[in-house]
């Protein structure tokens, strides 16, 4: 028996409910399967939901709904780093090993201004998946456009974790101090 397509607004409400009910990323392909539409339709739906100011982000692991009304305190900090592409995995592992989530990478491009890409890695497995996706697609790291200089937004429920992670980055020679 063929599954019925979920149409338009009903589908977008369903997608929003799915994303709100989990704190793990859901791929566009998974959402497409659940709604019996193409992944391209899901991309369009997510774009429409974002245009309605729904806090959905696309990560290398899938879509995540950021719940701004959560009760847990999350500490956040922006750090400046510099390293070669071959040190990216080491940098990310240093951060996640201290209980830190790396939300994004940001560079200042001479033409486009600030460019930000979501990373959303919190553990070594997610770092490994992120690196496999970069290497598998032969995509460039944003930091390659700026001689390795980039910013990361890092978060943790424990403020001391951010401080310890920063110390490790400094020790490794990755941190640019202000």
Please report which helix (H) or strand (E) contains residue 94, including its range: helix 88-96
pLDDT by residue, tens only, the chain of 178 residues = 456 777 889 999 999 999 988 877 899 999 999 999 999 999 999 989 988 888 888 877 788 888 755 556 788 999 999 999 999 999 999 999 999 999 999 999 889 899 999 899 999 999 999 999 999 999 999 999 999 999 999 998 889 999 999 999 999 999 997 6
Report field, pTM of the whole predicted structure over 0.85? no
How remote is the C-alpha of 91 from its chain's centroid? 15
What are the residue ranges of CATH 3.30.1340.20 in the chain? 75-172
The CATH number of domain 75-172 is 3.30.1340.20? yes
Task: Check residue 22 and give its pLDDT.
Answer: 84
Residue 82's φ and ψ, nearest 5 degrees, are -150, 130
d(CA 52, CA 60): 22
Cβ atoms of 111 and 38 closer than 8 Å:
no
Please report which helix (H) or strand (E) contains residue 164, including its range: helix 159-172
CATH of domain 8-65: 1.10.10.10
How remote is the C-alpha of 99 from its chain's centroid? 16
d(CA 94, CA 20): 30
Q: Which DSSP string corresponds to 21-73?
A: T-SS-B-HHHHHHHHTS-HHHHHHHHHHHHHTT--EEEETTEEEE--TT-SS-
What are the residue ranges of CATH 1.10.10.10 in the chain? 8-65
């Amino acid at each position: 028996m063929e599954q019925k397509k979920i149409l338009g607004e009903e589908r977008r409400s369903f997608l929003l409910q799915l994303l709100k009910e989990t704190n793990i990323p859901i791929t566009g392909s998974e959402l497409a399967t659940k709604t019996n539409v193409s992944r391209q339709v899901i991309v369009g739906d997510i774009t429409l939901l974002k245009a309605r100011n729904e806090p959905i982000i696309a990560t290398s692991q899938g879509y995540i709904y950021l719940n701004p009304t959560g009760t847990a305190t999350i500490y956040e900090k922006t750090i400046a780093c510099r390293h070669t592409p071959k040190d990216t995995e080491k940098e990310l592992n240093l951060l996640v090993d201290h209980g830190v989530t790396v939300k994004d990478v940001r560079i200042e491009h001479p033409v486009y201004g600030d460019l930000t890409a979501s990373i959303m890695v919190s553990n070594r497995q997610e770092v490994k998946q992120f690196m496999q996706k970069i290497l598998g697609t032969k995509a460039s790291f944003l930091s390659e456009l700026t001689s390795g200089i980039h910013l990361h937004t890092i978060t943790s429920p424990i403020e001391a974790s951010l401080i310890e992670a920063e110390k490790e980055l400094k020790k490794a020679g990755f941190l640019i101090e202000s």
